[in-house]
Structure 1
Amino acid sequence: MSTLCAVFQATAAQHPDLVALRTPADGVTVTWREYAERVRRIATGLAALGVRRGDTVALMMVNRPEFHLIDTAVFHLGATPFSLYNTSSPEQLQFQVGNAGNRVVVCEEQFLPTVLAGRDGTAVEHVVCLDDAPEGTIGLAELEAMADPDFDFEATWRAVEPDDVLTLIYTSGTTGPPKGVELSHRNMLAAVTAAATVLPADHNDRIISFLPHAHVADRWGTHYTQIVTGLQVTCVANRRAVLAAVVETRPTIFGAVPQVWYNIRAGVEAMIAGEIDPARKNALTQAIRLGLDYVRSAAPDEQLRARHKSADERMLAPLRAMIGFDQIRYALCGAAPITADAVEFINALGIPLSEGWGMSEVCGLATLNPPHANRYGTCGPAIPGVELLLAPDGELLVRGELVMKGYRHDTAHAAAAVDAEGWLHTGDVATMDPDGYVRIIDRKKELIINASGKNMSPSTIENTIRAGCPLIGQLVVIGDNRPYNVALVLLEPAVAQGFATANGLAGAELSELAGSEAVRAAVAEGIDAGNQRLSRVEQVKRFAILPTWWEPGCPELTHTLKLRRGPIAERYAAEIEELYA
């Protein structure tokens, strides 16, 4: 089967009565039979609105079952669905919708003001609203009731071809306007099937969808992987509720960005630190130490195996059950580098966490650590069907069927990104060991070169420090053409409030906490601890705590949580200069 349409139809027919989509506590459940029926109805309604093969349709909604129904219906028409970040401004929406050229937008009522404000000057003619349908919009139920006597659903989806564009993923835009990455059915099937050979999955598996649908990780990792494997997806609308959803769902597969894993580690450490039973506290501490010894050992002897098994049964298995990971088979981390010691810690708990690497232009994943051969601190080797090459300057090049078709209406950038031999120039500087395991250093354009000519990776420094200090939510290291490194620190709101309560500062605003001596001392301690794991030249010598928080899509942070280092340096020039005074 060469398209996601054909694969979807086969999967739905194979498991008609299994629940395909749900929300926590089964607030909403959708079986594969219902999924397929609604895809047909929604596709028929969209066809009645004039959506045809080659068209585009924009989606703007939280993680909910309707996303999967609508997105799948659109690509069954041979059209291209794409998601807008829910934090998009009208101007950002206008740019992406203008680039995509879609005539239909499907959104939740809460995002309707942004859609209506941003559609001026675009091709948008119809707005479908999932909830109530205010005047001038079409309700989803109304759309599903539309009829088109000339529409042949079966013939339409069978006419879709492997090289038709399956979706558009708009890049972060850290150095310019976002580019629309065109991913075909062929591209995505290559990515999903290759990843499934490393991490096999089937209809017995459960996964949680909580990352933005506009991010390639959610589309590859949950939406398209579900269609291929038949696994069950639990949709979590509020990303802050994801760890509670883990406890309810008991996922067998779970993927998240580094900060989620850092938070899990910090939560476990805080729970142990707060344990009032000395015997239990000591037993948990010893169990995790044994876990670390076990995962760090290339060939554990029989004694270590036996001690670890006993500690796991007595202490670690109940701990995993308490936090919802007692049935986990695979855990993944990507989107940004994670420290090796954090990966070791999570594995020591008995959660098999593997780090991978990818980008929108390769459908989300190109390298992945196999669980049986996990090398902490690396992103693993290439997944099957992918070729890797290091350019003379260390840039990682990728070739394979999962490499994008191109950038929408941007042949110049596409030609610069993919050379005549099919190699994608990723922009990431990396190293590769003799076995092909990749270690990402940083983005080529973001490396720090200090006043002495020393090259450093700011993200490595930032991740090392953040991993050991949960109070630091966002961190920016500055040091280009400077004698030493300094940092701008933003407090993690939830952790800061907990710290405030524990230190007699309950009710203090984030801006007040930024000026607290107690907070500054705790941050300084965290930075000092991180510095001990860095070379002298990499260490952060001074820092400032900013009395704010950066939301995705703001001038300092992309929708995918990447730092916009240029605008940050400009906006906080005074604070930076003071650190060097």
Structure 2
Amino acid sequence: MAMVTAEQVRSSVGAWTISRLLRRDVTVHGHLPALTGADGVTRTWSQLGEEVLAVAGGLSALGLRRGERMLLGPATRPEHWVVDLASVQLGAIPCTVDAALGPDQLHRIARDSGATVVVLTGPAELTRWAPALAAMPALRGVVVLDGDGHTRYADLLTAGHDAPLTEDSQDDPVAVVHTVADPAGVVVSHRDVLHRCVTQELARPTAPHPRTVAHLPLTHVEDRVLGLYLPVYSAGHVTVCQDPDRLAETLTTVAPQAFLGAPPAWERLATLIRHVLSTVDCSVPADETVLAPLRARLGLDGTVRFGGGAPPEVLDLLAGLGLPVGGA
């Protein structure tokens, strides 16, 4: 890992914000792949930019305004990425709610957020959120990705409303994230996340426009940096994996340069590694003739940026394979 100075970070961040970077990606890198979903459909940066603007118009028509909060359910779907970026274009503040919250915690966060718009996946999430939605006096609208009864995601796309885009500053909020255990909201700014992005770029450089596999919702700041903001910063390509059972397959197909794994994901990969190693002659120490093909089989032979955590024995196994998993 390269040494990085504060001056290098400040110089690279420059005057950028996430909104400005997205507009740059659309203009300069519009033909490059940006976002791929579980259905295999890939949006280029140009297509993603058009969808973000359309959704921003729909959110504005729903009543979302600059400085207001928007809550999102924990969906690992491309629409989540689009809605998040669209709200930031409006100067609003997105917050993805952790799926692990209990009913009382969800109720408290929803009530205290002052959010005016909530974006949920479908009927099951609507049922879970019903008591919390009833406790949100500022709520103007609910958007569902699937189902009826509220504003549908498709309705946002066809609202035909011109989004009142405003110029943001680096100190404007770009998201609210919550701490674990007893969750408390933490506001992060454009400057905060871009400093993290630049530090990653300088410390762990990759090829231009790196590939990323995202299998976690945008709940915590690490999820957002590796899964959303770094791809915007570097005009990279994110493949969203919704199904945990297909993660290994997705990694092999995509061969990402960056990957943030939750502990269960690393544990599943460790199980696969142990199975493969059980078929190898261990009477002699494993060298690159064994380890390199195994990393390739996992789709991680070209991965430079690893994130997440796991039990110590799993981290030791991964490190021995040449996969230095650590915090983002």
Q: Same fold (TM over 0.5)?
A: yes
Shift of 1:268: 2.0
Question: Which of 60, 63, 67 is 1:54 aligned to?
Answer: 67
**What TM-score, normalized by structure 2, do the two folds share?**
0.86
1:247 Cα deviation from its structure 2 partner: 1.9
Question: What's 1:225 paired with?
Answer: 230
Contact 2:31 2:45 in 1 (8 A): yes
Q: Note the C-alpha offset of 1:208.
A: 0.9
Question: Does 1:112 find its partner at 2:86?
Answer: no
TM-score when scaled to structure 1?
Answer: 0.50
Match of 2:19 in 1: 5
TM superposition shift of 1:41? 0.7
- Kindly indicate whether the alpha-carbon contact (under 8 Å) linking 1:82 and 1:167 is maintained by their aligned counterparts in 2: yes
Matched, 1:124 2:99: no
Instruction: State the partner residue of 1:214.
Output: 219
Report what 1:197 is aligned to.
202
Query: Does the aligned pair in 1 maintain the 2:61–2:161 contact within 8 Å?
Result: yes
Q: Report the 3-state secondary structure (helix = DSSP H, G, I; strand = E; otherwise coil) of the residue aligned with 1:243.
A: helix
| Alignment partner of 1:30 out of 18, 43, 47 | 43
Q: 5+ residue gaps in structure 2?
A: 1-14
1:262–1:147 Cα change, 3 Å:
closer
Distance 1:86 1:259, change over 3 A: closer
Residue matched to 1:325: 300
The correspondence for 2:256, drawn from 225, 244, 251, is: 251
Aligned residue type for 1:264: L
2:141 and 2:17 map into 1 onto residues whose CA distance is: 28
SS in structure 1 opposite 2:94?
Answer: strand
Question: Alpha carbon RMSD of aligned pairs, Å?
Answer: 2.3
Show the counterpart of 2:324.
353
In structure 2, do the counterparts of structure 1 residues 259 and 152 end up closer, same or farther at CA, with 3 Å as the change threshold?
A: closer
Kept after mapping to 1: 8 A contact 2:120/2:143: yes
For 1:77-115, what per-residue CA distance to the aligned partner results, in whole angstroms no more than 9, with x for missing partners? 111001012344443322112221111111111311122
Give 2:97's aligned residue: 84
Contact 1:202–1:229 (8 Å) recurs in 2: no
Give CA deviations for 1:448-502 in whole Å, capped at 9, x if unaligned. Answer: xxxxxxxxxxxxxxxxxxxxxxxxxxxxxxxxxxxxxxxxxxxxxxxxxxxxxxx
Residues 140, 316 of structure 1: alpha-carbon distance in 2 compared, 3 angstrom cutoff: same
Q: CA deviation at 1:13?
A: 1.7
CA contact (8 A) 1:57 1:82 kept: yes
1:257 Cα deviation after fit? 3.8
2:210/2:231 contact within 8 Å kept: no
Question: Of the two structures, which has the highest relative contact order with CA contacts closer than 8 Å and spacing of 6 or more?
Answer: 2
Q: Does the CA contact (< 8 Å) of 1:211 and 1:217 recur in 2? A: no
The Cα offsets for residues 236-276 of structure 1, whole Å up to 9 and x where unpaired, read as: 11234322221222222222245533443332223332x3x
The one of 227, 235, 243 aligned to 1:238: 243
Distance (Å, rounded) in 2 between the aligned partners of 1:86 and 1:259: 15
Candidates 54, 58, 69, aligned match of 1:41: 54
8 Å Cα contact 2:35-2:42 kept in structure 1: yes
Query: 2:151 — aligned with what?
Result: 138
| Deviation for aligned residue 1:203 | 4.4
| Deviations 1:21-75, CA, capped at 9 Å, x for gaps | 1135x52211111110011111111111221111011111421111111000001
Alignment of 1:152-171 (within 5 A): 152-153=164-165, 156=166, 158=167, 160-171=168-179
Consecutive unaligned residues of structure 1, counting only runs of 5 or more, are: 276-280, 292-311, 357-364, 366-581
**In structure 1, the residue corresponding to 2:99 is in which secondary structure?**
coil
Q: Secondary structure at the match of 1:81?
A: strand
1:21 paired with 2:35, answer: yes
Distance 1:114 1:330, change over 3 A: same
The match for 2:12 is none
Q: Aligned letter for 1:330?
A: V
Distance in 1 (CA, whole Å) between partners of 2:217 and 2:250 is 16
What amino acid sits opposite 2:170 in the alignment?
P
Code of the residue aligned with 2:324 in structure 1: it is L
Residues 202, 230 of structure 1: 8 Å contact kept: no
C-alpha displacement at 1:202, in angstroms? 5.2
Q: Decide whether aligned partners of structure 1 residues 286 and 200 sit closer, same or farther in structure 2, where only a CA change above 3 A counts.
A: farther
Does 1:178 pair with 2:183?
A: yes
SS in 1 for 2:134: coil
The 3 A distance-change label for structure 1 pair 202 and 54 is farther
- In the aligned structure 2, how far is the partner of 1:264 from the partner of 1:335? 13
Q: Deviations over 1:172-230 (max 9, x none)?
A: 13xxx421001011111111112211112454421111123212221111111111011
Equivalent residue number for residue 113 of structure 2: 100
Supply the AA of the counterpart residue of 1:346. L
